Amino acid sequence: MTQSVLEGKAKRLESFVRKKLIEPHGLVLSFVDSKTEKPFCAEEFGLGVDRMRHPPALGNENFGSYFAYENCGMCTGAWLAAQVLKYQVTQDEEVLQTARAAFVAIRELYQRSQSLAAGFFSKFHNGRLSTESSTDQCLYAAWGIDQFGALATKEERGQIAQMIEGIAKFWMDRDYKHPYRDRDFEWPWPANRFPPFLWLAWRHTKRQKYYDEFERLTALQAVRDIPPFFSTTISRWRGSGAQGHWPFKLEQAAQGQLSLAPLLLYDAPHRSVWLSQLKELILSCLPDLGEDCLGRGEFTYDEEAGTAREVETPYHSGGMPNPVWEAKGFVSAARSGNSPTMFARALLAADPLFPELGWKKVAGRILEKLDMGQMLYKIDPKGHLPENQKWLERCLSGDAVVNWLWSYWLAKAQDQTPKPTDDRTPHAKTPHRP
């Protein structure tokens, strides 16, 4: 695919974000109906439809907005990061205005969230704060505003430092636990998602407690290890030879752990630990990326019975024993277009660290292959999806669209950046603070 074709695709996708995904508060929606290009309506879903663990506290009438806004903090952070890179490449003042609008949306959501708890970053639902939060929402938003700091005013830089420290402190004070969706207990989030928060908090505040906590977490085995379901492939079907994977392998890695890749470019301590984990994780996930560049790691299908199987995962996402999690809402078809563009972004960020592995070429192939027709939460050509989940084939992923743009502009920015003398250990320059 020529550069002009990729450029045309970038313009189309950006136009779609501006016209269809940016909602009145300036946030970027995470899912819309691919047929209507609008959020799903509640009346489309009867009682038998799988609502993907929709929190009962929100009420059934809010289901459409719940799913549309599920990852809006994450999507807006990715959109902001993409616009910062685009401005770096183009120096277009209109791009800077777009980036600032995304920053303002994140800032206002954070400020509103403080009514619930200091440092809290709420999952937002169509003008309505919720008591939900998640590490991927916080991580992408924090990374986006950190990157915007290179373009920010002095006042905005102070706000960025306050928000990043607030988010890091919120999780640190709670021992990295917080209820999730309809669970009524303190959900233990995976420890290896938090070093980026702590390192960013230290960079912005120079407060020793964040550096010390970064060091403490890094020493934990739970941080150093790849969670078992990221690297374990199972085969349980009698005589069929069919392979199944623990759910969320590529999905969770792209959203969470692979976000460590940009951290390395800030030359954080314990570089060898993060390099080792990053390499193992990417190599583990690559087999789940099909020739069509769609994800293949989120399903278990019994070929003998001709049915999808509900899988019980024995681990939390941090590798801890998990007696309660059942992946009933996530038994999927063989393909998904939700996360491969996130994976492309991670591949591009990691490529300078491992240039001999050719990950930039893999990322380029993802950008070439995927367009909005493939950026769907589930793609089910063989009819494996249970009837009550068929609607997932209509979910156009805002995550996929904005991460395609983030990846595209990251590649363009890398092409403009002189290669370091030592390709193994590149040192990204700390963003200039005007």
Closest of 121, 89, 85 to residue 105, by C-alpha: 121
Quick check: 339 and 361 in contact, CB under 8 A? Answer: no
Residue 278 included in any domain: yes
Residue 421 included in any domain: no
* 298-330 pLDDT per residue, tens: 445 444 555 544 444 444 444 444 433 333 434
pLDDT for 332 equals 44
Residue 334 included in any domain: yes
The whole-angstrom separation of Cα 64 and Cα 309 is 26
Domain count within the chain: 1
pLDDT for 59 equals 64
Residue 115 included in any domain: yes
Lowest mean pLDDT among 148-157, 274-283, 362-371: 274-283
Residue 90 included in any domain: yes
The whole-angstrom separation of Cα 415 and Cα 351 is 12
Top-confidence residue, 213 or 53: 213
Top-confidence residue, 300 or 125: 125
pLDDT for 165 equals 98
pLDDT at 109 over 80: yes
Top-confidence residue, 319 or 109: 109
Query: Mind giving me the DSSP string for 202-260?
Result: HHHH--HHHHHHHHHHHHSHHHHSPPHHHH-EE--STTT---EE-TTHHHHHHHTGGGH
CATH code, domain carrying 208:
1.50.10.10
Residue 15 included in any domain: yes
Domain around 72: 3-416
Residue 267: which residues within 8 A CB-CB, separation 6 or more?
Answer: 425, 427, 428
Distances (CA, A) of 112 to 19, 74, 107, 158: 25, 17, 9, 18
Residue 432 included in any domain: no
Residue 179 included in any domain: yes
The whole-angstrom separation of Cα 230 and Cα 219 is 20
pLDDT for 401 equals 98
The whole-angstrom separation of Cα 204 and Cα 38 is 38
* 3-29 pLDDT per residue, tens: 889 999 999 999 999 999 999 999 999
